[in-house]
Amino acid sequence: MTGKKSVLVIGLQPTLIDFSSPDYAAYLDMDAAKVSAGLKAAEDSLTQLGYDVQMCLTDFGETAEAVVQDRLKRKQFDCILIGAGIRAIAGNFILFEKLINVVHANAPQAKLCFNTKPTDTADAVLRWI
């Protein structure tokens, strides 16, 4: 890889997720510790592949837009991943839509990608950069 590409991984703060909620029924075997470990492993994997990785963990919308916008104003990213916890959960649809628009307005040059779980984050990034 020539030059270090930068990646922003946007996801929900795992400690805020209620894994017993019906919205998370498909993730019954998950908990905050497992998600945090998966995020750390994804970050480590991308770093080992030569990417400059920043994690951006948000709440469910109270400050999420402002947090992501602030991060995008501080640095230009080559790729932005929005995690499945935001994208794939029906109850987070509006949050996902808002974050897509924040990314579009503040990082139009960035490639967008999406994972299905923390363990396929590197695969999602590799599809685009």
Give pLDDT tens digits along the chain (129 positions): 457 999 999 999 999 999 999 988 888 788 999 999 999 999 999 999 999 999 999 999 999 999 999 999 999 999 999 999 999 999 999 999 999 999 999 999 999 999 998 889 999 999 999
Q: Identify whether the C-beta of residue 88 lies closer than 8 Å to the C-beta of residue 53.
A: no
pLDDT given at position 1: 46
CA 85-58-95 angle, to 5 degrees, is 60
**This prediction's pTM:** 0.94
69 backbone dihedrals φ, ψ, rounded to 5°: -60, -45
Domains and CATH numbers, the chain: 6-126 (3.40.50)
